[in-house]
Structure 1
Amino acid sequence: MMNYWRNVFYIVVVLLTYSCKKEEKPAVYKPRFVLEGWIEKDDYPYVIVTHNLPFFTAIDSAQLAEVIIRYAKVTVSDGVETEVLTGTTDKRYFPYFLYRGYSLKGKTGGNYKLKVEYAGNTLEAETSIPKRTPLDSIWFVSKPKNTMQLNVRFKDAAEDKNYYRLYTKLEREKSFIPTLLANQNDQYFNGKELRLQVNRGPESNLTSKHDPYFIKGDTVMVKFSGIPQTGFEFWNSFQDEVLNGSNPLVGSTKALKTNIKGPGVGIWCGYASTVYRVIAK
């Protein structure tokens, strides 16, 4: 999946920036947890738990290490099986510490409850995994300087309310990155075919410098995910904050639409994903 730490870090920044926008003086720092968890069809649950920082904190490697919550009790249940996730290191992500399952796997139509307990605090959330929707076709269009733009096409299922999220990465890279305008709601194309010209998203939300195209000959992995409504609402509000943050004339107008209950912010989301391997040609 995507580089989750970049998203978690930006959630912290967005949360604290939003709390300060409407006051002449910075708001008093309120400790809150920042949570990002996911469960994919045919895969185990993963959860990253951190806490926020005061807005003007100087951030270095030592400070980043301290935001990681290492001793929480993280439980996921599908209504039949309940598993306490195991804290472990995983160098595919930064920070490198997360909680993961080893027995409970995601299934289409499954509902999954998350509970995080730490230092007398409890955070809870619930998500589901929708049906998969396949991409019908993937192709590239030539752009200047030997670059190629990705295009995709799929048919939305008329009988369901659907939400989608799209990612790409080069085959050699570890993490999927959301494309620009990665989130789709079938409100305006229910039951119809949708064609998208896809621009790559930046590797970091802290920079605006990126190339929206691939190089001719690149081996590209495309990930297309169905997500529940709560996942769409969170990622869409997150996307709005990223776009607004790059525009000095537009400020934050509303909080992230988190589905976390308790003293925290973030997302617990189910994904019905399909991954495609294509050559940019």
Structure 2
Amino acid sequence: MMSFRNTLLWIGLISLFYACKKEVNPGLYKPKFVVEGWIEEGDFPYVILTHNLPFFTAVDSAQLAEVIIRYAKVTVSNGTETEVLTATTDKRYFPYFLYRGTSLRGKVGGKYSLKVEYAGNTLTAETEIPNPVSIDSLWFVEKPKNKRQLNVQIMDAPNEVNYYRLYSKLEKETVFTPTLMANHDDLFFNGKMLEMQVNRGAANNLTSKHDPYYEAGDTVLVKLSAVPASGYVFWKSLQDELMNGSNPLAGSAKALATNINGPGVGVWCGYSSKIYRMIAR
């Protein structure tokens, strides 16, 4: 299962933040839908729908409840089978309200279309589930104060363009969290071995400080997901904006990349994943 906690609200806020920077006028706020949808190999489709907020809006629990869209018609199709997703609550995710499939499951090589209908608006998107990729090896390196840093080695498939997204979590946690700098393509290591140190990602985008290492003895699950180009472009653009936003000397006026067609932003993405279990020794 994908973990996207607290990303949706930031997608809307960041988009508006850079629009406000460019126009220097918070009054130019334009409402948009924010879509975060995914379908993973062997699992059902999930879609979270919200709308954005002006950058200077005071955000509290009541305001967060207002941004959730509860009465949309959300349809996913693989070309032969079509399903209208069911609205439900799921405390593993943020926001907690989402649309979930119950019959259509993702398959490697499958192509999936998304259609969202709400209040006279229609949003569409397409994605596919690429071939899975494998971690060749993973290990932990000792750090001070009984900490351990994760390292991974990936053998990239030759003669094809690959896009990766890396996650980790403690075995006792319910959802995976993207690692710091989770998104990679094989532009510079096509057909070669990639070895990298991996820092544990923050639990959410509102956390300013977090420990990038694991404690010795932690049981850690590592997930490597293959994603299509459109998914990689979106997540990489969001990653770049979050990094720039934390640097007072950097900035950007670029809009976030999105594969959502219509009055919305966000992503509809297919994933094929492999999960590995290791004890941080």
Q: After TM superposition, what 4+ stretches of structure 1 lie above 6 angstroms from structure 2? A: none
Find the counterpart in structure 2 of residue 234 from structure 1.
Answer: 234
- CA deviation map 1:247-267 (0-9, x unaligned): 011112311110000000000
- C-alpha distance in 2, partners of 1:161/1:31? 36
Say which SS state the counterpart of residue 98 (structure 1) adopts: strand
Find the counterpart in structure 2 of residue 52 from structure 1.
Answer: 52
- C-alpha distance in 2, partners of 1:260/1:24? 26
- C-alpha distance in 1, partners of 2:82/2:122? 17
RMSD between aligned alpha carbons?
A: 1.1
Say which SS state the counterpart of residue 265 (structure 1) adopts: strand
- C-alpha distance in 1, partners of 2:61/2:2? 21
- The size of the alignment, in residue pairs, is 281
- C-alpha distance in 1, partners of 2:99/2:270? 16
The percentage of aligned residue pairs carrying the same residue is: 67
Find the counterpart in structure 2 of residue 62 from structure 1.
Answer: 62
Say which SS state the counterpart of residue 204 (structure 1) adopts: coil
Question: In 2, are the aligned partners of 1:19 and 1:27 still within 8 Å (CA)?
Answer: no
Find the counterpart in structure 2 of residue 154 from structure 1.
Answer: 154
Question: Which stretch has the larger CA shift, 167-176 or 215-224?
Answer: 167-176
| Paired residue type of 1:18 | Y
Question: In 1, are the aligned partners of 2:5 and 2:203 still within 8 Å (CA)?
Answer: no
Question: In 1, are the aligned partners of 2:168 and 2:179 still within 8 Å (CA)?
Answer: yes
Find the counterpart in structure 2 of residue 100 from structure 1.
Answer: 100
| Paired residue type of 2:132 | R
TM-score by length of 1: 0.98
The alpha carbon displacement at 1:40 in A equals 0.2
Say which SS state the counterpart of residue 23 (structure 2) adopts: coil
Find the counterpart in structure 2 of residue 210 from structure 1.
Answer: 210
Q: Give structure 1 stretches of 5+ with no counterpart.
A: none
- C-alpha distance in 2, partners of 1:249/1:160? 37
- CA deviation map 1:79-135 (0-9, x unaligned): 010000000111111221100101111001100000000000000000000000111
| Paired residue type of 2:160 | D
- C-alpha distance in 1, partners of 2:272/2:223? 10
| Paired residue type of 2:15 | L
| Paired residue type of 1:87 | A
Say which SS state the counterpart of residue 22 (structure 1) adopts: helix
- C-alpha distance in 2, partners of 1:3/1:171? 14
Question: In 2, are the aligned partners of 1:153 and 1:194 still within 8 Å (CA)?
Answer: yes
Aligned pair 1:29/2:29, yes or no?
yes
- CA deviation map 1:184-242 (0-9, x unaligned): 10011111111111001111212320111100000111010000000000000001001
Q: Give structure 2 stretches of 5+ with no counterpart.
A: none
